[in-house]
Amino acid sequence: MSKSLKLFGGTAIGTLAVLTMSVNFADRNIADFPKNPPVMTAIAPPVVSTGLVGAANASTGAGEGKYGLGRQALEEEIAAWNVDVSPDGTGLPVGSGSVEDGEMIFSENCAVCHGEFAEGVDNWPELAGGEGTLADDDPVKTVGSYWPYLSTAWDYVHRSMPYGSAQTLSNDDVYAIVAYILFSNFLVDDDFVLSNENFLEVEMPNADGFIIDDRAETEYTIWRTEPCMENCKDAVEITMRATVLDVTPEEEGAAAATEATPVVQEAAAEPVAEEAEEAPVEVAAEADAGADPALVAAGEKVFGKCKACHQVGDGAKNRSGPVLNGVVGADIASVDGFKYSKTLGEMEGAWTPEALAAFLADPRGYAKGTKMSFAGLKKDDDIAAVTAYLSTFK
């Protein structure tokens, strides 16, 4: 026998042996696909002899064709998730909190976003103010002006606040914060204590401002019809233009309107420029009568810390704080239409420069219980400057 015949003969015998072993393995260990059931059935869970798992299997229907996954939630687990509070008071935990405590808790946990007086900071929402604005083009929707149920405020603070540290406040802390928010909206007095017992007694200004949404019964049948897909309108034309952004598609004649716009803007800008030029002259003229113009100018910058709550000048209105026109020398708590704290309302005397300086240095120390939670001006020069500035508004 030649060497090549021995070589190929050995290779053939080896290959035949491997194929024979493969067929035997497949026949014994691989299921015949055509005979497999066409659908997958539920797999019975493994039987475990512990009482806990046995009870869980029984509660989920294991052995009855179910998957046997999970178990019934424990009462304490349900309670941890069931934290919502309903308008009728359902879900309110036992607890209480005062306006006085709420002021400090709010200052420590909420003021960085919502302001010391709940007036809002930058783009963070306002929680106070907005009375009578809901019919305006740009309404201010706050807890006091818009929300119909106090439970919404309590539930949201309890569930989601402070930002980044949700549900770290105690129930009493939440009651105190909500009490302070009510106080900031002039809905309660400074000695008010909110609790689960008097919660439903608080009347929200916009409680009657909402109606039941019955559109499903009254309107859906009117406009929920088969949609028109072609030739739905004889002609399409632009009837109004966007006022906030320039997003209205261009059409014939729009270029002319666009060209006219800068002229209108320039015309409108002129009076503003004139007013801006006249204002310093007016202040300076009054300052010449008794106040140092440089001191007045410095006071105007200091007053920037007060603008969030107080207004001065023509058209000034009461906000979180009263209008300050004519405050220097005026009787304490004498602005018409502003609801002062009980403390200031009962004080006698006038805002002399000395009294005003003492108040601005330490508002809460001078008038304990005041709504003005501003910590005060630390520098005597700032106090003198802002007093000089306020003296120019009669």
Residue reference for tokens 């349900």: 78
Backbone conformation region of residue 263, classed left if phi is above 0, alpha if psi is from -120 to 50, else beta? alpha
What's residue 169's pLDDT? 96
- 83-201: CATH architecture: Orthogonal Bundle (1.10)
Q: Distance from CA of residue 135 to its chain's centroid?
A: 21
The beta-strand segments (E) located in the chain are 96-98, 193-195
pLDDT of residue 305: 72
CB 205 within 8 A of CB 145: yes
Query: Within a 13 Å sphere around the CA of 219, how many CA atoms are in the beta-carbon half?
Result: 3
Using a cut of 0.85, tell me whether the model's pTM lies above it: no
Domain ranges (residues) in the chain: 3-60, 83-201, 276-390
> Which pLDDT score is estimated for 268?
40
83-201 shares its CATH topology with 276-390: yes
Q: Sign (positive/negative) of CA torsion 287, 289, 295, 299?
A: negative
The single residue listed with the structure tokens 């200091």 is 302
- Taking a C-beta distance cutoff of 8 angstroms, is the pair 140, 205 a contact? no
Contact 85, 155 (CB under 8 A): yes
Top CATH class, 276-390: mainly alpha
Q: Which residues pair with 331 in a beta bridge?
A: 350
**What are the distances in angstroms from CA 97 to CA 60, 89, 174?**
44, 16, 7
Q: What is residue 92's DSSP assignment?
A: P
Q: What is the Cα gyration radius of the chain?
A: 37
| 238, two tokens | 């632009």
Cα end-to-end span (Å), the chain: 130
**pLDDT < 70 positions in the chain:** 1-12, 14, 16-18, 22-65, 243-290, 308, 371, 373, 375
Interatomic CA distance for residues 321 and 129, integer angstroms: 10
Residue that is written with structure tokens 């007694």 in the block: 201
Q: Judge whether 116 and 107 are in contact, CB under 8 Å.
A: yes
pLDDT of residue 16: 67
Tell me how far apart the alpha carbons of residues 25 and 363 are, in angstroms, rounded to a whole number.
92
- Where b means 16+ CB within 10 Å and e means fewer, 246-260 reads eeeeeeeeeeeeeee
pLDDT given at position 251: 59
Greatest Cα pair distance, the chain, in angstroms, is 134
Residue bearing tokens 């700032």: 382
d(CA 359, CA 330) in angstroms, rounded, equals 14
pLDDT for 238 equals 84
